[in-house]
A and B are shown apart, each in its own frame.
Chain A
């Protein structure tokens, strides 16, 4: 189906289903209930899930397949964002040209950085990419202020040219990003009993692009090119003595993943038309590394899961403050309540990084294959149990 093996096609269908119904799946608790704060089904967060999903899918093509660990991929994301905002300023508020330009510019940018960085491998490669990204960040923050807006970031203004569109709306406001008139921020609210679901245009555009990106990633993984990339990770000596030149392969993988990052950056700016230098900082580059490893580097779905998990922690887990904790443990005697809250408090709210760090450590130590490996282990255990249940009388052969 669509040039995919049965198993991959099923995975694609699952991803399509999940993204399509995400506004419902992520809002399992009735609005206004005590648990409603764990609902993640609001447009802003859902957009972030899929956009960072794209970023991580692309990063995984480089890191998961070739094993080259780039520590500077946020630079491409930032470049993508700046390109998109410039398109909004100069051309029109249509997101399509903005996204296309951000992919192209990020591709060119990653070609230059990749060409130089890939002269080295291992830790030296990582350091080179990190250096380039930090350089880009510093430039965007200071020297290039006329292009990047410096500290305040690049924003839209009322006197922007926007040659193919209106500089201002009829009411004198800055127009909002749209796809042929369909505004990104437009939402449809649906109430079913106590539940409220929001279907947002921006989210569905980003989700559609993520599904396409995911499909392309599957094709790359299963192609001869993908096989060569895995061969590079496995044994470069044999690679060259088999008559294969690994340099153009790694460069192609680097540029592809840079373009994915640019796409994510362009989408980010399309949802919220501003771009700041902090998107290029090394912490942002580190975040995508964490996402990929947490979910499972080299697996198809892993990076998306990792991105979702980290963004959930960042946005939902961080909302649990001491007041919420006191409410939860209010049934306990006063002294005990305070004690329990004191113990838990450092791990939630502003301390969400601590919990994430612990989860990350546990995953790396016990599940080197990431969350995907965890899922596989559970599935294998269930299958074993099922077969045991199916023939309870059967004796196991001696091994």
Chain B
């Protein structure tokens, strides 16, 4: 029984069957990649997992509880954090404030009327945020407004904002999409480091085979909204069905 159990998910957009009978099981403490050609339904599946889309049928269980019908903030409070294709951070705030916000969300829940205490007096939260920034080597940039950060730093910050909540599952939506070679390598290194240090369960949706094969421990291949196979990276590489559906076109 995995920490995330997806069973028989169907989702139609008008005449298009975006997801057809998708089953997926993400084991605790693994990095699970979901790959597939464009239009395979990867993003639709991710949006179902975070509560942005509601499937027509099927079930999604996380940590023994159903996530269907819950709002994104409720799903996050259950322990699922999400990293976006283009980093979603608080652009008008400083790096430090960006990291403090998820700390408050973790401690105080979805809403708390703490309008009188000063954020300067929140010693515990500040220490936690500082530690996290030191962890991703961004402590010296703590007072910078995030809109002036480089793309790589924005990605790093977003990752820090997710990690500081100590999620049970980290969802990554094409974390290296549109990145230069060097940035991609940096991101892979960062993810490997996080994996080694924290042992976090991750589900990655990715297009870049280099990223997938250097990180994933399990791979699910989606094609036209249905899972083709699920296996280890070694077996996926040689799988004839996968070559036919996906890898052939990617020239691996």
Which residues of A pack against B, CB within 8 Å? 3-5, 219-220, 222-228, 230-231, 233-235, 237-245, 248-249, 252, 256
Contacts and interface: CB of A to CB of B under 8 A. Distances in A.
A157 B184 CA distance: 78
Interface string B71-85: 111101100011010
A244 B120 CA distance: 21
A226 B118 CA distance: 9
Contacts of B228: none
Nearest to A237: B88
B106 interface: yes
Contacts of A227: 93, 97, 100-101, 104, 119
Contacts of A238: 88-90, 161
A54 B112 CA distance: 25
A234 B90 contact: yes
B244 interface: no
Contact of B111 (A226, A231, A244): A244
3 closest cross-chain pairs (CB), A and B: A243-B76, A225-B115, A245-B110
Given A219-B118, A223-B117, A224-B117, 17 more contacts: A3-B118, A3-B121, A223-B118, A224-B114, A226-B119, A227-B93, A227-B104, A231-B93, A231-B101, A235-B88, A237-B84, A238-B89, A238-B161, A241-B72, A242-B161, A243-B105, A245-B73
A312 B201 CA distance: 62
A243 B122 contact: no
A234 B91 contact: yes
B71 A243 contact: no
A233 B50 CA distance: 22
A231 B114 contact: no
A222 B118 contact: yes
A243 B77 contact: yes
Contacts of B104: 224, 227-228
B76 A240 contact: yes
A230 to B, nearest CB: 6
18 contacts: A5-B118, A220-B116, A222-B118, A223-B114, A224-B122, A226-B115, A228-B104, A230-B90, A230-B93, A230-B97, A231-B101, A238-B89, A241-B72, A242-B161, A243-B109, A243-B165, A245-B71, A248-B111
B113 interface: yes
Nearest to A226: B115
B185 interface: no
A234 B73 contact: no
A333 to B, nearest CB: 56
B124 to A, nearest CB: 12
A252 B113 CA distance: 8
Contact of A241 (B50, B91, B109, B113): B50
Contacts of B71: 240, 245
B120 to A, nearest CB: 6
Given A227-B97, A238-B89, A249 B111 contact: yes
A29 to B, nearest CB: 42
B110 A243 contact: yes
B92 interface: yes
Given A220-B115, A227-B97, A240 B72 contact: yes
A223 B161 CA distance: 20
Given A220-B115, A228-B101, A231-B93, A244 B88 contact: no
B70 to A, nearest CB: 11
Contacts of A230: 90, 92-93, 97
A243 B102 contact: yes
Nearest to A222: B118
A244 B110 contact: yes
Contacts of A235: 88-91
A237 B50 CA distance: 12
Contacts of B92: 230, 233-234
A244 B113 contact: no
A240 B105 CA distance: 10
Most chain A beta-carbon neighbours within 10 Å: one of B72, B105, B115, B119 = B115
B76 A224 contact: no
B157 to A, nearest CB: 11
A313 B249 CA distance: 70
Contacts of B82: 241
A244 B111 CA distance: 6
Contact of B119 (A223, A243, A256): A223
Nearest to A252: B113
Given A222-B118, A223-B118, A235-B91, A240 B113 contact: no
A265 to B, nearest CB: 22
A224 B113 CA distance: 9
Contacts of B89: 235, 238
Identify the interface centre among B109, B110, B165: most chain A CB within 10 Å of its CB.
Answer: B110
B209 to A, nearest CB: 27
Contacts of B97: 227, 230
A241 B76 contact: yes
Given A223-B114, A231-B101, A244 B73 contact: yes
Nearest to B79: A243
Nearest to B78: A243
Contacts of B165: 242-243
A3 B117 CA distance: 8
Given A240-B73, A241-B50, A243-B77, A219 B101 contact: no
Contact of A225 (B76, B93, B114, B161): B114
